[in-house]
Amino acid sequence: MTTTRPTTVRLTAAQAMVRWLSVQMTPEGERFIEGVWAIFGHGNVAGLGEALHGIGDRLPTWRAHNEQTMAHSAIAFAKASGRRRAMAVTTSIGPGATNMVTAAAVAHVNRLPLLMIPGDIFANRAPDPVLQQIEDFDDATVSANDCFRPVVRYFDRISRPEHLLTALPRAMRVMTDPANCGPVCLAFCQDTQAEAYDYPAEFFDPKVWHIRRPEPDARELAEAVAAIRAAKKPLMIVGGGVIYSGAQDTLVDFARRHNIPFAETQAGKGAVDWEEPLHFGSPGVTGTACANQLAAEADLVIGVGTRFQDFTTGSWTVFSAPGRKLISVNIHGYDAEKRGAQPLVADAKVALERISAALGDHRFADPDFAARAAWFATTDILFAPPAGNALPSDAQVVGAVQRQSGKATTVMCAGGSMPGALHVLWRSAAAGYHMEYGYSCMGYEIAGALGIKMARPEREVICMVGDGSYMMANSELATAVMMGIPFTVVLTDNRGFGCINRLQKATGGAPFNNLLDDAYHVNPAHIDFVAHAGSMGAHVVRADTIAALETALAAARGATIPTVIVIDTDPMPGTGAGGHWWDVAVPEVSDRAEVRAARSEYEQATRAMRLIN
């Protein structure tokens, strides 16, 4: 006896959403949306909360402590997964929703998939205004969730159950589109979540989402090949697009075949093991001396999967050779056309393969390998522990972590002092680096470490975070303890915002409102980070020396809960080597002689900027 399945399934809109999400698959047979981070309130607990409980492990739900940071965990998961998988986050309408706007911007700037499902106002408007509702006096269609519009790739308001039939596939299209990848906001009216509808049964059939690899335009490819053939000293700049394309091995083969050196951006760092001889480190503001030397001499700069952010380009002063040309290989025409670059719009892996085939055996002269060796000799000195009882610098802390790390270690960070030190100094193995520096969002670190470990449980994850950033967002440490997800946090306490204090002084300003001792206070600040982290259930160690830090790092390996290692550091030193000018506007008028001197240097530096290619 044969049975025919019903042509429709009656579900609430919330039930339909989670059922549909649970069967959107990767080519490897995994859920694209691995699960849902949820903090419930009156705008999502009855509808989505009931639906998520009902679906159980087919679409897991995790409880977090802060809406922004749970979204950061989801973003880090997506980044660590190479954009092949993502997570969803849901909140109530009101402060829970707007808390996620910063995270949406992080995902948008970094081109990372994130599905946000905040509750929204009542579609029927019967009880208006409800608790937490923002009322626009001139537009009744506006809610707090309209704040998401500038910082997402796709926005939709689900005010009818049948809206899901088009909104959900559109959301997945955006998150799996290599060019337009980014965050999605589906603002879900709370009464609509609970409303039932007869959905087509076929809507819930499993679907596999393949990420396309666009081929380059024949004319653009020919022009790129001709420009490379005409060059004498090319330099490649490796961005995050190389990682998302899975082009790491292809890039190495390309570089070796044609003898072209390269440097990695913050997003691209870790694409290639640092020991590759043609790998010269990082470019620009947080650049190595050897890479910036090549950048200054390059007559052709080939960007591969980079958006040429100002740190990469030294605010467009680092690529300074007269007559130099710029090629930008990018999946999106918006990025490929920047600064008048010669565009090659294509998947990075495919583009490198096509260029290499056209170049044949064409090779360039050796780069300055002696400068590369000298750079690493310099960093060996910077990594050495301080003498006597002196507080260590960020570079010395990085050195300690480096010595205790292996090929399976991923070091991660976000805004503040440490990103600069790590970019210029860290010797990353392949997949050994994770940095949120597109939006430079302080508070990403601990939540991000949690997301990385969920995506890559086989890796040792070391989170580098300063005291200022830790104070902004630390609550997902408790979540990681609760979930039994271990990683190591190295908390450097320099008593304030050391990075911006150095920038303030470099631009002629007086130390003011950055370090705790330079801020207004009645009572001196004495924050006990050991007690604080311990109160959330983490294993905590205070390291009084670099040697103690290394001992604690070794002991943390193999732990079943997060380990936090607190070490006091000196806020004054920078990285000690490398670097380049960065455009930070200095006041034209000031009573301070230091500011006037800094302004004079600033005006001289800006004359070297290249506004067009």
pLDDT tens track for 189-235? 999 999 999 999 999 999 999 999 999 999 999 999 999 999 999 99
Please state, as a whole number, how many other Cβ atoms lie within 10 Å of the Cβ of residue 191: 18
The predicted model gives 319-334 an average pLDDT of 97
In a domain? residue 595: no
The predicted model gives 569-593 an average pLDDT of 94
Tokens of 501: 């204090």
pLDDT digits (tens, 9 = 90+) for 369-385: 999 999 999 999 999 99
What pLDDT, on the 0 to 100 scale, is given for residue 613? 76
Q: Which of the listed residues 144, 173, 208 is the one where a domain comes to its end?
A: 208
The predicted model gives 471-486 an average pLDDT of 98
Q: How many domains does the chain have?
A: 3
Peptide bond into 129 cis (omega under 30): yes
Task: For residues 336 and 327, give the distance between their C-alpha atoms in angstroms, rounded to a whole number.
Answer: 8
Query: Are residues 361 and 418 both part of a single domain?
Result: no
Residues contacting residue 572 through CB under 8 Å, at least 6 positions apart: 498, 502
Query: Are residues 67 and 126 both part of a single domain?
Result: yes
Mean of the per-residue pLDDT values for the chain? 97
pLDDT at 138 > cutoff 80: yes
In a domain? residue 600: no
Query: Are residues 447 and 563 both part of a single domain?
Result: yes
pLDDT digits (tens, 9 = 90+) for 67-88: 999 999 999 999 999 999 999 9
The predicted model gives 1-23 an average pLDDT of 92
In a domain? residue 361: yes
In a domain? residue 124: yes
In a domain? residue 4: no
Task: Tell which residue, 145, 218, 158, 149, has the closest CA to residue 13.
Answer: 158
Q: Which of the listed residues 156, 174, 208 is the one where a domain comes to its end?
A: 208
pLDDT digits (tens, 9 = 90+) for 238-279: 999 999 999 999 999 999 999 999 999 999 999 999 999 999
pLDDT band for position 576 (cuts 50, 70, 90): confident
Q: Which domain holds residue 277?
A: 218-371
What pLDDT, on the 0 to 100 scale, is given for residue 611? 82
In a domain? residue 574: no
Query: Are residues 88 and 143 both part of a single domain?
Result: yes
pLDDT digits (tens, 9 = 90+) for 286-308: 999 999 999 999 999 999 999 99
CATH code of 323's domain: 3.40.50.1220
More confident residue, 65 or 415: 65
Query: Are residues 135 and 167 both part of a single domain?
Result: yes
Query: Are residues 20 and 156 both part of a single domain?
Result: yes
What pLDDT, on the 0 to 100 scale, is given for residue 5? 84
Order across the sheet with 563-568: list the strands.
433-435, 409-413, 460-466, 488-493, 563-568, 539-542
Query: Are residues 346 and 446 both part of a single domain?
Result: no
What pLDDT, on the 0 to 100 scale, is given for residue 2? 66
pLDDT at 24 > cutoff 70: yes
Tokens of 250: 């292809």
CATH code of 181's domain: 3.40.50.970
Task: For residues 346 and 326, give the distance between their C-alpha atoms in angstroms, rounded to a whole number.
Answer: 16
Give percent of the chain with pLDDT exceeding 70: 100
Task: For residues 330 and 346, give the distance between their C-alpha atoms in angstroms, rounded to a whole number.
Answer: 6
Query: Are residues 222 and 182 both part of a single domain?
Result: no
In a domain? residue 360: yes
Q: Are 88 and 55 in contact (CB under 8 A)?
A: no
Task: For residues 388 and 570, give the distance between their C-alpha atoms in angstroms, rounded to a whole number.
Answer: 14
Q: Which of the listed residues 208, 233, 250 is the one where a domain comes to its end?
A: 208
Task: For residues 323 and 313, give the distance between their C-alpha atoms in angstroms, rounded to a whole number.
Answer: 16
Query: Are residues 238 and 256 both part of a single domain?
Result: yes
What pLDDT, on the 0 to 100 scale, is given for residue 23? 98
What pLDDT, on the 0 to 100 scale, is given for residue 1? 58
Query: Are residues 427 and 295 both part of a single domain?
Result: no
Query: Are residues 173 and 64 both part of a single domain?
Result: yes
Which DSSP symbol is given to 592? Answer: -
Tokens of 560: 């079943």
Residue with tokens 């599905």: 115
pLDDT digits (tens, 9 = 90+) for 381-403: 999 999 988 999 999 999 999 99
Query: Are residues 367 and 512 both part of a single domain?
Result: no
Residue with tokens 């090319």: 234
pLDDT at 168 > cutoff 70: yes
In a domain? residue 602: no
pLDDT at 450 > cutoff 80: yes
